[in-house]
Amino acid sequence: MVNGADTAWILTSTALVLFMTLPGLALFYAGLVRTRNILSVLMQSVSIAALRSLLWLRAGYTLAFAEGSPWVGGLGKMMLAGVTRGQVFDGTGIPESLFFMFQMTFAIITPALIVGAFVERIKFSAVLLFCTLWLLLVYAPVTHWVWGGGWLGSMGVKDFAGGIVVHVTAGVAAIVLAVMLGARTGFPSHVQPPHAPWMVMVGASMLWVGWFGFNAGSALSAGADAGMAMLVTHVSAATATLVWIGIEWVRFGKPSLVGAVTGTIAGLATITPASGFVGPIGGLTCGLAGGFICYLAVDVIRNRMRIDDSLDVMAVHGVGGATGTLLTAVLMGAGLGGVGLDEGTSVGSQFVVQFTGVAVTAIYCAIVSIIIVMVVKATTGLRVSADEEREGLDLASHGETGYNT
């Protein structure tokens, strides 16, 4: 039977998660690039949202959530076949059509996160083809493994809102694309700073607000779990923001706005898998860990490994999501204000399960993403020409400019 309160909350959460991508993530990324590439980032975000929506209806949802094997869902719910208007999703009080929509917004934002790895140098056609294949071959199967009745969920992996499903997959795909695509011209010594830090902050603020739908909405009900998930999400984001400010203040003498809101996103990504399982102490701990560890990861990937993951997708989302997934095993105990471990499960055994989920997903995502990139390169091509990169993708790919004077 449909529960009105639960349905109202998930309707709101669905809108909040879409708000994270459009306009939140779009503006966050657009402010980080040069003026000649702002429209290309916005175009990628809106196009991914439209494309993934139809792919989710056609095949993504059924591969993720229909009854099937431990590895992938069956084809019984293509185009929502057999799902009636009033049908309730199993174990909830919300219509399955609404659950479909809520999960669609997750399927939209995950590849939108990957955009940050390849800005300013990729073909638009390559973006669309990569996102199509990646949904079917990576995102939908991994979603089934964790949330759709697959083998990782059966093993006992705890991923409340997407530390593995969203952030680990996006981070690994991002690093694969960054390496195979190659660095931007002039990286790392002559890359221009973000053209609009104010825009980055506005986008990050929208992400912060929208993330309440992402995490608290994953309770799939308007109850105590949603309330605590919202609380710890906010605590983690606030903590990681201050951690990033503090590190920059000590290291450089001046904390930056872009650094502060990057810390915000790191805190949000880190708490995501733990949000429904931990209490306030867990939120604070995830924020501290996410702020420090993601900051170090940015330095390692960008400055030591010299990989042009342009907007730090792997360092912030991949590392943050993995960190939060592993910390869930430690922080979900009832003594720390969490929901408690499953009967017969110790912190150590749960940690092994969490680590297995992160490692297997990362390896699978890396291998399949490499294959997809090779297919894209052989069909549409991957990178724009040097002249187009110099001109900027706004004009070269879309015939427009972001700032007409």
- Please list, residue by residue across 147-159, b when 16 or more beta carbons sit within 10 angstroms of its beta carbon and e when fewer do: bbbbebbebbbbb
What are the residue ranges of helices labelled H in 253-279?
Answer: 257-271
CB 106 within 8 A of CB 64: no
pLDDT of residue 404: 86
* 205: nearest Cα among 197, 217, 195: 197
The model carries a pTM of 0.97
pLDDT of residue 191: 85
Cα dihedral sign for 298, 300, 301, 307? positive
Q: How many Å apart are CA 401 and CA 232, to the nearest integer? A: 41
Mean pLDDT by 10 residues, the chain (405 residues): 96 98 97 97 98 98 97 97 94 97 98 97 98 98 98 98 98 98 92 94 98 98 97 98 98 98 98 98 98 98 95 98 98 96 96 98 98 98 96 96 87
Q: How many Å apart are CA 147 and CA 90, to the nearest integer? A: 12
pLDDT of residue 190: 86
